[in-house]
Amino acid sequence: MLLSTLAFLVEPYLISDASFFLVMNLKDGLFENYPTVALLLLDGLAGLFDTTIHAISISFVFRYFALQREGRLRYFAGKFLCIWMAYPFVFGFIAMVILYQLGPNDQFRQDLKNMYGLDIEKTTYSGGFYWTIDEYGDKIWNIKEASGIMVLNIKKLIPLFIIFYFGTKSYKIIRGLVSQGESEYSRRLQTQLYKALVAQTLIPLFFIFFPLAVYGMGPFIGLSIEWANLILGSFFTVYPALDPIPIIFLVDDYRNAFLNFFRRIFSKHQIAAVTFYDSNMNTFQA
């Protein structure tokens, strides 16, 4: 909810060509006269998104511990729970600080205006150019900005590794449980959970980490993706709606409960004629 609210207020858009920039248009907006507040909101949105993907990775660790059935869920209780809860926010805060350091400066202002036609006085932004031109006209590595962006990209590998590693481990456990089911119902349930797990592992990989990799690494290798910004940007919006779908539709119990809920809502009261026999009158009545 907070992420959606911030996204609504900020309405950011990405520039990923020879650079990587998060941009917020201030013209005729609430924060037109408060660029510093706008910058904090823009970077806060990015930090909260980073928090979200780390939180998603934690769910894979929890699921793996639950499947092991060796009492390891105790590591998600008490003081350990506080650590798990703090972990994504720490990484989100780090991302926010890095982006704030990559905020507006005099060098970027003219470059962004010339290259992208931005009304620089009515925007705020965070990011940088991977490459710049020195006083001799040579193309050189823009160390400060490029290093900051690379740290943000490398940091994304942590939740990616967690999701892939614990997703694979959980997959192996469930695959083993399928053959060990004591009843037909148990085997069928484990098979459904196995399929749902595979889907829930692939969804964040495709809808979150793939776009992030393209956005972050594209400019570094000379890949221009301006034409795909709208498509890739929509992936982030679609992900929250797609994440529960495998459980809802691949697991019978969830699917039946979900469909029955809507059947009750949309079912219409029907009037049926009833015929009965009255033994005293020896006649049928309607």
pLDDT at 173: 82
- For 149-170, what is the mean pLDDT? 88
Tell me if 195 is assigned to some domain.
yes
- For 77-103, what is the mean pLDDT? 92
In the chain, % of residues over pLDDT 90: 10
Tell me if 249 is assigned to some domain.
no
User: pLDDT, tens digit, for every residue of 3-14?
Assistant: 667 777 777 777
Tell me if 267 is assigned to some domain.
no
pLDDT above 60 (res 285): no
User: pLDDT, tens digit, for every residue of 215-267?
Assistant: 767 766 666 666 556 666 666 667 777 878 888 888 887 788 878 888 888 76
Contact criterion met (CB below 8 Å) for 52 and 46: no
pTM given for the model:
0.74
The letter for the amino acid at 35 is P
Query: In this structure, are strands 123-129 and 131-133 parallel, antiparallel, or unpaired?
Result: unpaired
Highest mean pLDDT among 129-133, 186-190, 198-202: 198-202
Q: How far apart are CA 269 and CA 168, in angstroms?
A: 48
pLDDT at 233: 63
Q: How far apart are CA 222 and CA 215, in angstroms?
A: 11
Tell me if 254 is assigned to some domain.
no
Tell me if 256 is assigned to some domain.
no
Nearest CA among 6, 197, 217, 215 for reference residue 92: 6
Tell me if 109 is assigned to some domain.
yes
Q: Which has more confidence, 269 or 33?
A: 33
CATH number of the domain to which 47 belongs: 1.20.1070.10
Tell me if 219 is assigned to some domain.
yes
Q: Where are the beta strands (DSSP E) in 139-244?
A: 139-141
The residue segments making up the domain with residue 132 are 2-243
Q: How far apart are CA 68 and CA 127, in angstroms?
A: 43
Biggest alpha carbon–alpha carbon distance for the chain: 113
Tell me if 103 is assigned to some domain.
yes
What is the count of structural domains for the chain? Answer: 1
pLDDT at 270: 46
In the chain, % of residues over pLDDT 70: 80
